[in-house]
Structure 1
Amino acid sequence: MLKTTINQVFKHVDEDVTIGAWIANKRSSGKIAFLQLRDGTGFIQGVVVKAEVEEEVFKLAKSVTQETSVYVTGQVTKDERSPLGFELQVKSIEVIHEATDYPITPKEHGTEFLMDHRHLWLRSKKQHAIMKIRNEIIRATYEFFHQEGFVKVDPPILTGSAPEGTTELFATKYFDEDAYLSQSGQLYMEAAAMALGKVFSFGPTFRAEKSKTKRHLIEFWMIEPEMAFVEFNENLEYQENYVTHVVQSVLENCKVELHTLGRDTAKLENIKAPFPRITYDEAIKFLQEKGFDDIEWGDDFGAPHETAIAESYDKPVFITHYPTSLKPFYMQPAPDRDDVVLCADLIAPEGYGEIIGGSERVHDLELLEARLKEHGLDQETYKWYTELRQYGSVPHSGFGLGLERTVAWISGAPHVRETIPFPRLLNRLYP
């Protein structure tokens, strides 16, 4: 018998196939039983008609328990009512392992219960869809940067210094030295850009930030490109082209998953470069006019501020030229004023907040050394970083995209905890 997977059944219409699967759910209606089958690649309905199968097969179809693993054999037929477009006319069922008392039933469960059973919750239809969208974003990321001539570089996770200070880092001992779990690979990526031109990294980052919002994780994944000979405006163009590519790839390749999640794809179809841009100055004025009396120049934006700004646009919006005092030491000052830097945050629509932070980097050695001093950072610790400006310094730029926030936005997930397989939250290290 031909063995296949659910995502490949379209190749076998009107043929008999065998699929290894789990029973996601089942229901019966008199002389017909309906099995919701999943195999990791997708979901398909198996139809068992009593009059067309042996008596034992029909009894098994009615009694088989949720999450029991099976081999199901049947004929693939077209079905326009199915999001997949196909269903399986079941002829035989072979039980591999019977599951009993599966804890996550089709009824409603509380968040904490589901998080305690995250290892099983991942099997559900919506969680499966979010993970498939996450995977497509990762695939499209590699595709975009490969097409643009970037080289993938892997920065270290254990570091001896911090790009933005050590207040929100996890400290550990590296034999007899202090070390930290990386909150960003950026500084190392700058070194790689001076060797390879255009580079990007994709890896885990860690922030010991005691936040409980729907946008924050303790451990999350970042895509961090750095580009030699690229200045501020060109950096923004790379960002909007990258985000456009990712969104359009998800629309093209995750139609079933977006349908499963009930995502309004019309909002995503509009996501195409160029994106609107406003300055920090303009954003402050806008917020004050909108009634945010608590905000004044020099303040950072919180979630309500970002959401109010984003609601005025139907695409992601860049907020540029933040005050120097709000940003890290490595950002290049604007040429016409020294109180703001050449940076931008990209704010996603629909209340999902900042998904990218980027800037042109300081490339002048004296200015960088002065900035390190201003921020109270040890010059010796950053000696290797300052040497990048000592031997053939060039204007260069980069940015970091938070994968989980991007997945949440594109999939419409209500919380970033659903966008990573095993989330690490302020009070959760299990499972």
Structure 2
Amino acid sequence: MKKITINDMKHHVGEEITLGAWLANKRSSGKIAFLQLRDGSGFVQGVVVKEEVGEELFAVAKGMTQETSMYVTGVVTEDSRTTFGYELQVKNIDVIAEAIDFPITPKEHGTEFLMDNRHLWLRSRKQHAIMKIRNEVIRATYEFFNENGFTKVDPPILTGSAPEGTSELFQTKYFDEDAYLSQSGQLYMEAAAMALGKVFSFGPTFRAEKSKTRRHLIEFWMIEPEMAFVEFNENLEVQENYVSYIVQSVVKNCPLELERLGRDVSKLEKIKVPFPRISYDDAITFLHENGFNDIQWGDDFGSPHETAIAEHYDLPVFITHYPIGIKPFYMQPHPDRDDVVLCADLIAPEGYGEIIGGSERIHDHHLMEQRIKEHNLDPQAYAWYLELRKQGSVPHSGFGLGLERTVAWISGAEHVRESIPFPRLLNRLYP
């Protein structure tokens, strides 16, 4: 018998096939049982008619417990009543393993219960849809950068210094010296850009920030491009083209998943270049005009401030030229002002906050040396980074996109913890 996956059923209408599947749910109506089957590639309904399969097989179908695994054989038919468009007329069921007291039933469960059972919660339709969207964002990311002449480079996860000079790092012992779990691969990507021109990394990063907001994870994944001979405005163009590309890829390739999540696709269809831009100065003025008198020039924005600004636009919005005092040491100063730097944060719509932070990097050796001293960083730890400015330095720029925040926004997930398979949170290291 031809063994296929659910997402391939459209190519086998009228044929008898076999699926390896789990029972997600079931219901029966007299002499017909309806099995909700899943195989990882998708979900489909299996119809078991007692008169066609006999008493014994029908009893098996009605008696199976949620998440029992099986091989199920049947004929693929079209079904215009469902979004998927197909169903399986079941002829035979071969039970592989019965599931015993599966804890996540089709009812409401508390968040902590679901997180304790994350290894099983991933099987649900909603979580399945979010993981498929995450996968599409990853696929489209590689496609975008490969098509635009970037080379993927993998920076180390264990480092001897902090890229942003913060103390919110996970420290470990590296034989007889201190090491840290990386909070960004940026510094190494700058070195790679001097060798390969346009590069990007895609890997895990770690922040020991004790935050419990819906936007934060302790461990998350970052896409970090760096580009030689690219200045500030060119950097913003790459960012908006990239974000537009991945959003439209999800719209095109994940329609079933977006529908399953109840996502308003019209909001995503609007995400096309160019994105609006507002300076930090104008953002402060805007916030004051809208009743946010708690923030003054020189303060960093909190979630309420970012949300208020984002709600003024239908598209992601760049906030540009932040004060030098609230940004990392490596950012290039504005050519006409000494109080702001050539940087931008990209704020997603619908209250999802910053998804990208980027800037033009300092390429002057003496200025970088000065900044390292001003931030009280260990010159020896950054000696190799400083040397990049002595060996044929050029203007260069880069950015970092947080995968989980981006997936949460595109999928409409309430909390960023749903956009990663096994989230690491302030009080959660299990499962």
TM-score (norm 1): 1.00
Bigger mean CA offset, 105-114 vs 46-55: 46-55
> In 1, Cα distance between the equivalents of 2:99 and 2:83?
27
What corresponds to 1:286 in structure 2?
Answer: 286
What corresponds to 2:159 in structure 1?
Answer: 159
> In 1, Cα distance between the equivalents of 2:272 and 2:75?
42
List per-residue Cα deviations over 1:317-340 (Å, max 9, x = no partner).
Answer: 000000000100000001010100
Amino acid corresponding to residue 223 of structure 2 in structure 1: I
- Please state how far the C-alpha of 1:130 moved relative to its aligned partner: 0.3
The 5 Å alignment of 1:110-129 reads 110-129=110-129
List per-residue Cα deviations over 1:289-317 (Å, max 9, x = no partner).
Answer: 00001111001000000000000000000
Amino acid corresponding to residue 267 of structure 1 in structure 2: K
- Please state how far the C-alpha of 1:118 moved relative to its aligned partner: 0.3
- Please state how far the C-alpha of 1:401 moved relative to its aligned partner: 0.1
- Please state how far the C-alpha of 1:56 moved relative to its aligned partner: 1.2
The 5 Å alignment of 1:404-419 reads 404-419=404-419
The 5 Å alignment of 1:34-183 reads 34-183=34-183
> In 1, Cα distance between the equivalents of 2:81 and 2:267?
24
What corresponds to 1:332 in structure 2?
Answer: 332
> In 1, Cα distance between the equivalents of 2:279 and 2:51?
70
What corresponds to 2:234 in structure 1?
Answer: 234
> In 1, Cα distance between the equivalents of 2:168 and 2:380?
21
> In 1, Cα distance between the equivalents of 2:371 and 2:49?
74
The 5 Å alignment of 1:308-347 reads 308-347=308-347
What corresponds to 1:218 in structure 2?
Answer: 218
What corresponds to 1:303 in structure 2?
Answer: 303
> In 2, Cα distance between the equivalents of 1:58 and 1:278?
64
**2:256 aligned counterpart, secondary structure:** helix
- Please state how far the C-alpha of 1:49 moved relative to its aligned partner: 1.2
Question: What stretches of structure 2 of length at least 5 have no aligned partner?
Answer: none
> In 1, Cα distance between the equivalents of 2:306 and 2:166?
26
**1:96 aligned counterpart, secondary structure:** strand
CA RMSD of aligned residues (A): 0.5
- Please state how far the C-alpha of 1:274 moved relative to its aligned partner: 0.6
List per-residue Cα deviations over 1:18-37 (Å, max 9, x = no partner).
Answer: 00000000011111110000
Question: What stretches of structure 1 of length at least 5 have no aligned partner?
Answer: none
List per-residue Cα deviations over 1:67-118 (Å, max 9, x = no partner).
Answer: 0000010111111121211111111111000111011111111000000000
Amino acid corresponding to residue 82 of structure 1 in structure 2: T
Bigger mean CA offset, 364-373 vs 81-90: 81-90
Runs of 4+ in 1 over 2 A off after TM superposition: none
> In 1, Cα distance between the equivalents of 2:412 and 2:383?
44
- Please state how far the C-alpha of 1:166 moved relative to its aligned partner: 3.7
Amino acid corresponding to residue 26 of structure 1 in structure 2: K
> In 2, Cα distance between the equivalents of 1:16 and 1:302?
57
List per-residue Cα deviations over 1:163-182 (Å, max 9, x = no partner).
Answer: 11241000000000100000
Amino acid corresponding to residue 399 of structure 1 in structure 2: F
> In 2, Cα distance between the equivalents of 1:361 and 1:157?
22
What corresponds to 2:401 in structure 1?
Answer: 401
> In 2, Cα distance between the equivalents of 1:70 and 1:282?
61
**2:128 aligned counterpart, secondary structure:** helix
Q: In percent, how many aligned pairs have the same letter?
A: 80
**1:190 aligned counterpart, secondary structure:** helix
> In 2, Cα distance between the equivalents of 1:427 and 1:60?
43
> In 2, Cα distance between the equivalents of 1:160 and 1:68?
49
- Please state how far the C-alpha of 1:52 moved relative to its aligned partner: 1.5
> In 1, Cα distance between the equivalents of 2:181 and 2:71?
44
List per-residue Cα deviations over 1:357-387 (Å, max 9, x = no partner).
Answer: 0000000000000000100001111000001
**1:425 aligned counterpart, secondary structure:** coil
> In 1, Cα distance between the equivalents of 2:6 and 2:256?
12
List per-residue Cα deviations over 1:139-185 (Å, max 9, x = no partner).
Answer: 00000000000000000000000111241000000000100000000
Amino acid corresponding to residue 292 of structure 1 in structure 2: F
> In 2, Cα distance between the equivalents of 1:373 and 1:245?
40
> In 1, Cα distance between the equivalents of 2:410 and 2:352?
9
**2:295 aligned counterpart, secondary structure:** coil
Alignment pair present for 1:23 and 2:23: yes
Bigger mean CA offset, 81-90 vs 336-345: 81-90
Alignment pair present for 1:10 and 2:22: no
